[in-house]
Amino acid sequence: MSQIQTQELLQWLDQTLESARFKDYCPNGLQVEGRPVIRHLVSGVTASEALLQEAVARGADGVLVHHGWFWRNEDARIRGMKKRRIALALANDLNLLAYHLPLDAHPILGNNAQLARILGLEPERHADGAPRTCGPDNLIWLGQAPGIRTVAELEARIAARLDRAPVIAGNRDQAPGLIAWCTGGAQGFFEAALDAGATTFITGEISEPSAHIAAENGAVFISAGHHATERYGAQALGRAVAERFGIRVDFVDLPNPA
């Protein structure tokens, strides 16, 4: 079985995802150090206790996720849920590799790029091929939905391909126009998307002001699910790791209604 030094894999991940350029809400990279050699990883959306238990059951050497630990302003005390998670990782010598904003933003492996692939969105691109983006850290992508005539048709496609009915604020009968999207909890980016010329915004969560912003701007807000929109980056990154280094990477999609 192929293997790789943990530090070598970490270096490749950091370089590939350009993690140093992001001011994030959590540390990116190796959050918990485990075995020095990795032969088998489990990838997933969130480093939950259930995902760690799945990694242990499969004999993995670590987990590779989008949502790791040690978030800004969280309670620093190691007790309850946090104690159980950390204890499980340490007891089984698991590496925890986590990439938040870097995995959202990557132009090929990232959550936004992968959501576009899943939903059949066509990103607008600059002359050099880079996607047209806007908003904080250029995390919002802009593009079109070829073949989609109305928001209602886009809604049906999202429901079918993400296996989750989205929440819609706005007129289902209007054309989507320029679409902006940013996976996860990006409802606060709605106005930045509108400023860039978008009339439809897709993200994972909706807040109370989102419906008012949509109504007062003649726009559409689509909440397609936080977990549902972010299944695909960790999966794509895991495939890239497996192809490059020849190690085993299992993507585990644990059920989540969000």
What per-residue confidence (pLDDT) applies to 248? 98
**172-223 pLDDT, tens per residue?**
999 999 999 999 999 999 999 999 999 999 999 999 999 999 999 999 999 9
% the chain with pLDDT above 90 = 99
41 membership: H or E segment, kind and range: strand 40-46
Query: Burial level of 36, CB count in 10 A (0-12/13-18/19+)?
Result: exposed
Q: Binning pLDDT at 50, 70 and 90, where does residue 254 land?
A: very high
Q: Which residues contact 203 (CB under 8 A, 6 or more apart)?
A: 181, 182, 183, 184, 185, 186, 187, 189, 190, 221, 222, 223, 224, 229
Under 8 Å CB-to-CB from 33, ≥6 apart: which residues? 6, 95
What's the whole-number average pLDDT of the chain? 97
Asked whether 179 and 144 are in contact (CB, 8 A), the reply is: yes
Which tens digits make up the pLDDT trace of 10-37? Answer: 999 999 999 999 999 999 999 999 999 9
In this predicted structure, the answer to whether residue 144 has a pLDDT above a threshold of 80 is yes
What are the backbone dihedrals phi and psi of residue 68, each rounded to the nearest 5 degrees, phi first? -95, -135
Distances (CA, A) of 175 to 199, 200, 210: 9, 9, 19
pLDDT of residue 96: 98
Query: For 83, what's the count of Cα atoms within 13 Å in the CB-facing half-sphere?
Result: 4
CA distance 198 to 133: 11
Calculate mean pLDDT across residues 43-49. 98
d(CA 194, CA 201): 8
In this predicted structure, the answer to whether residue 1 has a pLDDT above a threshold of 90 is no
Q: What letter would DSSP give residue 179? A: E
Beta bridge partners of 85: none
Segment 99-116 mean pLDDT = 98
Which amino acid does the sequence have at 239? R
215 exposure class (CB count in 10 Å sphere: 0-12, 13-18, 19+): middle
Give the residues across from 200 on adjacent strands. Answer: 179, 220
Name all contacts of 57-63 with Cβ < 8 Å and 24+ positions apart: 58/250, 60/94, 60/250, 61/6, 61/34, 61/35, 61/37, 61/93, 61/94, 61/95, 62/6, 62/34, 62/35, 62/38, 62/94, 62/95, 62/96, 62/97, 63/94, 63/95, 63/96, 63/97
Task: Name 161's Cβ contacts closer than 8 Å, sequence gap at least 6.
Answer: 118, 119, 120
pTM of the model: 0.96
Residue 208: per-residue pLDDT: 98
pLDDT at 90 > cutoff 80: yes
Is 42's pLDDT higher than 90? yes
